[in-house]
Amino acid sequence: MQILESKKIGERAYIEELESGLKIVVIPKKNFNKKHAIVGIKFGSIDNCFINPKNNKKITIPDGVAHFLEHKMFEQKNGTNSLDTLTALGVNANAYTTDTHTAYLIECTDNFDEAYKELLDYVQNPYFTRENVNKEKGIICQEIRMYEDDPTSRVYQNVLQCLYKNHPVRIDTAGTIDSVNSINKKILYDCYNTFYNPSNIVISLCGDFNPEEIIERTKNMIVQKESYKDIKRIYPEEPEEINKSMIIEKMEISTPIFVIGIKDKPKYGKEYVRKNIAIEILCNILIGNSSKLYKELYDNGEILSEITFEYQSSTDFAYLLLAGQSKEPEKVLSKFIKQIKSLKKKGIQEEEFERIKKKVYGGYITEYNEVSDIAKMFMIDCLEKVNTFDILDEFLTVNLDYIKEILNEVFVEKNIAISIISTN
């Protein structure tokens, strides 16, 4: 068993990697009432082409399979639905699918042992029939139509269409109505048997646990399967340049919303961690709620909400998104680009850098107050082969010179696009 420790915050993580490659991560929190468990599978919406490890043949699947699979996992052979079973126990249970992974989770103060057994049972025992797959198609198609009518979903989807020409990250997680209707039982089992493999799974737990005890209990509930040490994914060649600089779509909305996107190149391990920190600091300096630009835009009525930042990076893609509300989104973009150029020319003041760095560091620290945040954080980082505690340690290595390097590397005008949902 590997024990990771952060003396800065007095936290420990216990990690057990089984022979199969499955990882169990436990972050004990003494005297916490809530317990949280999350099972993460490195299978997301971008994984639509891969080599079947059983026969070494290339498989191309319809868009939306990872999301469809997530929906179907709750249904059991005995006619029960695990979501209903968990809810009846008074447990908060859920699941979600992203570009890069699928996750199933529970959180509760009581009945954890029974709920945890149910969680591991349904994730390891799929049950797909032609009838239940066809029934689910209608439900998911209805969900797709709902999101097509949702301005927030549209503005985010459109900015990825701007940034990417070929990469499947540009496709909605749920797929399209046509792609969903082409999914069948065989496709679901092929994907389950490939990706829901122990070597591709992380189980993360946070709460008042005895680490050795919960790890041993977990090991006893793991179904023994042949392990695939490496699942080969195939992604299309993606040009460095963005696909288009702007998409404007009109919808029934009271105030226009926008997302500015910046296409980036992925980095790995500690270098990814450092870059992530630097980008968050730079976003705060450029247009955060204590920045000069934010104050100017807000005082002029040119933005109507705080700008939110989101940086995503995985094996084959990376992008930064900045979202907000404005009656004049194109003016916000113009001033943002002007601010980037000004910062590159004039430089960043040491005092401002240190102030923002402390603020960002404080945000990372507060994530350790909530068991769900901690468990999810470790699960995602473990899937991406990152040591979560490195994030806190790497703050020391992020200096002004490195910030300038990332400013010049990432915040490049030709890599910037904007998606706008405007009023009718």
Active site residues: 70
Helix runs in 233-370, H state only: 269-287, 292-299, 329-346, 350-366
253, two tokens: 């909305």
Candidates 179, 82, 64; CA nearest to 126 is: 82
Q: Is 214 exposed, middle or buried (0-12, 13-18, 19+ CB in 10 A)?
A: buried
Residues ≥6 apart with Cβ < 8 Å to 143: 174
Fill in the amino acid letter for 419.
Answer: S
266, two tokens: 């992925």
- Is the backbone of residue 187 left (phi > 0), alpha (psi -120 to 50) or beta? alpha
Candidates 264, 215, 231, 172; CA nearest to 42 is: 231
The answer to whether residues 166 and 317 touch, using CB atoms and an 8 Å cutoff, is no
296, two tokens: 């100017």
Candidates 138, 80, 126; CA nearest to 102 is: 126
| DSSP state, residue 401 | H
The secondary element (H helix, E strand) that includes residue 154 is helix 151-163
Dist CA 411 CA 422 (whole Å): 25
Instruction: Specify the 3-state DSSP secondary structure of 175.
Output: coil
The answer to whether residues 313 and 267 touch, using CB atoms and an 8 Å cutoff, is yes
| DSSP state, residue 216 | H
